[in-house]
Amino acid sequence: MKRTKNLYSYYMIFPALIIYSVFFVVPAIAGFYYSFTDWRLDRLELTFIGWDNFKKIFSDKTLILALQNTAIFALVTVVGKNVIGLLLAVGLNMRLRTKNLLRAIFYSPSILSILVISILFTPMLRTEGTINQMLEAVGLHSLSQAWLTNPSIVIWTIAIVSIWQSAGFQMAIYLAGLQSISQEYYEAAKIDGASSWRSFFKITLPLLLPAININLMLTLIGGLKVFSEVYVMTGGGPGNASQVVGTIILRSFGEGNWGLGTAVNTLLFVVVTIIAIPLLIFMRRKEVTE
């Protein structure tokens, strides 16, 4: 009896498994292989060249810069999206009359495609764009900037736009987490005379860890895979100042260097895995159950 039940579940998984293999597993393995070859548009006889592509990645100044930029972007957005998302969630978890409206407002940017957001922000961030005009209107002349064309701040600008877009989404996950925490804990804490700071750190944060974990993972992986916002707002420029791993992959393919492009992609995969999995395991251990 049990056996047929098992078989049945396997039949059902078959179509999905086949599609998954054909369109993901096989290309992924093929990509892994191609990253060790000199696959090029004008040289179709593949030769296995070992680690050469990877050596090239680490000897190319632009690629190093792109890795740095990706790291900066990932770090800034992970911190920004989660801190702001959490603050919004805690704030909007209180009994406010406008809380539903405010929740909708903060969540709404994440409904839009990041492409749309980037296109909207590009003119606003010009030297004589809306952002600078607003700064000047309130007397903050000194803060006005060439946001997207100053090589030293451009990656930060893009990160801030990305935070603006996505913090509301993080807020939604935190809100869900907050609402699953039973009020009894807070009541008990109140009776014991705990300050609201203390109950936040001793009750809210630990019980919110599952939501924090999910958000950290989502923002970290999203941050490391950043592409669209950079591509639309600067195309990696000015010069190469805002290149990230994603745009470098595109550049390599454009240059006909398919092998190198897949190598960068493989590297990104490995980096994401190396960072994400230990973090996931570490955070899981910290989780407590109610």
Partner 1 sequence: MKILKQKKVATVVLASLLTISLTACGAGDSSTGSSTGGDNKAKVTLELAISKSSQDSAFIQQDILDEFEKQTNVKVNLQLIPAEQTTTVLQTKLAVDETPDIIQYNLASAVTDLNLERNFEILDDEPWASRIVNKDVLSAGGHIYSFHVSQDTGMQGVVYNKQIFEELGLTIPTNYEQFLAVCEKIKASGITPVFMPYKDAWAANIWPAAAFADFVAKNEPTFFDDLNSNKKKWSDVPEFKTFLEQQYEVYTKGYTNTDVLSDSYDMAVGKFLNKEVAMMFMGDWLIEGVAEQDPSMELGVFPIPSTEEASLGASPLGGQLFIPKKSKHLEEAKQFLDFIASKDVAQRIVDSKGYVSNFNDVTTPELPAYKQDIVDNYITPKKTVLTTDAFMLVDRSELYRLLQDQFAGGLTPEEVLKSWDEKFSQLMQDKGVAGF
Which chain residues interact with partner 1 by CB under 8 A?
3, 6-7, 10, 14, 17-18, 21-22, 26, 38, 40-44, 126-129, 146, 148-151, 235-241, 251, 254-257, 260
Which lies closer to partner 1 via its Cβ, residue 22 or residue 75? 22
C-alpha 89/C-alpha 107 separation (Å) is: 11
Which lies closer to partner 1 via its Cβ, residue 45 or residue 192? 45
In terms of Cα–Cα distance, which of 72, 40, 71, 35 is closest to 55?
Answer: 35
Which lies closer to partner 1 via its Cβ, residue 107 or residue 253? 253
Which lies closer to partner 1 via its Cβ, residue 10 or residue 197? 10
- Least distance between partner 1 and beta carbon 234 (Å): 8
Which lies closer to partner 1 via its Cβ, residue 41 or residue 104? 41
- Least distance between partner 1 and beta carbon 241 (Å): 7
- Least distance between partner 1 and beta carbon 44 (Å): 6
- Least distance between partner 1 and beta carbon 89 (Å): 36
- Least distance between partner 1 and beta carbon 21 (Å): 4
The answer to whether the beta carbons of residues 89 and 178 sit under 8 Å apart is yes
